[in-house]
Amino acid sequence: MAGVSLQCGDCGTLLKSVEEAQEHAELTKHTNFAESTEPVLNLVCSSCGKPCRSRTESDLHTKRTGHAEFVDKTSEAITPISLEAPKASDDVIMEEAGDGSSSSQQEEMVVPEVDQKLLEELEGMGFPKARATRALHYSGNASLETAASWVVEHEKDPDIDEMPLVLLSSKNPEAPKPSLTPEEIKIKQQELRERAHKKKEEEEKQREREREKERIRVGKELLEAKRIEEENERKRFAFTLYILFYLHLKYIYIVYLLDFFCLYFNSMLALRKAEKEEEKKAREKIRQKLEEDKAERRRKLGMPPEDPTAAVKPSAPVVEEKKSSLPVRPATKAEQMRECLRSLKQNHKDDDVKVKTAFNTLLTFVKNVATNQNEEKFRKIRLSNAAFQDRVGKLKGGIEFLELCGFGKLEGGEFLFLPREKVDIAVLNTAGNELNSAINNPFFGVL
């Protein structure tokens, strides 16, 4: 296969034509070139039509513009490389200046041949003929899009509107034969050097801008990552404070609950002890009363006293010699209700659902009477009702609690009835409070 590109032996860059190889040599000082059968890539951006000659150039274009779709038109632009009319380089010009008398190597500058159809289309788009000819020549007559992209990229070149010239051998009789003086050769060399230097500076500036953009992007990403990390740290700190605060409140609640149970347990012990003392005093009084009645009956019957010492024995109770250190007071209505509910729960401690149902049913009866005092249907309960028996009647302590609220048996024990004049709102409120405490307190009846 014939060569379709020139490859630089120093850096491996693929070039389309001899002219590009000469420009590459001027920029990089590389002089080792060889023909290659590998074509130069022609990746055309689908969005803006810019041609890219390598993957690196397409990646750079994507990073700069965001365009990511490219059409591979490499096969359309493949043309065999021509080595017959290379663009004059500095070395060739110097050789011509040093050996200008040789008629066999005499060369002349002529306008390069370009695709006339593409040239007409570019002129129709509004480009000057010189600019269109230069674009088609340096883009290798590949396509209209490639030439237009070349014009856009090189529109700031100082000689963009000058007609390009290439060297042509004097054997061609149709080409004009202008000659260059040594001064013109030096000027041309200086222009080429300046152009190469300017192009190199522009490329360096472009690379610097790309590096600055990349640095800014990386800086923004680092700042965003740092902000996210700080936000996560604040969330973790706030969550830790919430957990600690929650545990602190829970600890305080447990301490208060334990204090409450301790006070409640102590008060219950004191109440039980006072009840036992009161019961003991009552039994002692009854015993003394029986002894006095017995002695009085014997006296009335004329019988001698059973124990002579018993007649003169003082009637003062022995229990009074030892006074209790705890205050003795009768049990209040609330304490009686509480004890009734506690016994109900302890008698049925294996069935919490039934106990809770009984408490809720009693609370419903109490609420109905308290809110509808004039309604007799709320103050009258049929004891033979199956639902009542299942929820309250069969449980020991349920009917007793209603009796403490003021209900009484009526009509031979068939009904529980609370007369209107015996409705005591204070007693009903106390019953409601005790039932609410029994329902909501999970430790009710445990102690």
Angstrom distance (rounded) from CA 110 to CA 169 = 10
The pLDDT of residue 228 is 93
pLDDT, block means (10 residues), the chain with 447 residues? 72 79 79 78 83 80 83 76 52 46 53 85 83 85 81 81 71 43 72 80 90 88 90 91 86 84 85 87 88 82 63 44 47 82 84 87 89 86 86 84 86 81 87 87 69
Domain residue ranges of the chain, discontinuous segments joined by +: 199-321, 333-440
Contact 383, 433 (CB under 8 A): no
What SS3 class is residue 400?
helix
* pLDDT of res. 320: 42
What is the distance between the alpha carbons of residues 44 and 55, in angstroms, rounded to a whole number? 11
Q: What is the pLDDT of residue 227?
A: 92
Q: What is the pLDDT of residue 232?
A: 92
How is the beta sheet containing 51-52 ordered, strand by strand? 51-52, 43-45, 70-72
Residue 157: what pLDDT?
82
| CATH node for 333-440 | 1.20.58.2190
Q: Residue 323 has what pLDDT?
A: 43
160 three-state secondary structure = coil
What is the model's pTM?
0.30
Say if residues 366 and 439 touch (Cβ distance below 8 Å): no
Q: What is the pLDDT of residue 231?
A: 92
- Which pLDDT value is given to residue 93? 44
**CA-CA distances (angstroms) from residue 366 to 342, 356, 414, 429?**
18, 15, 20, 8
pLDDT at position 107: 55
Rounded Cα distance between 133 and 136, Å, is: 5
Amino acid 314: pLDDT: 47
Beta bridge partners of 380: 417
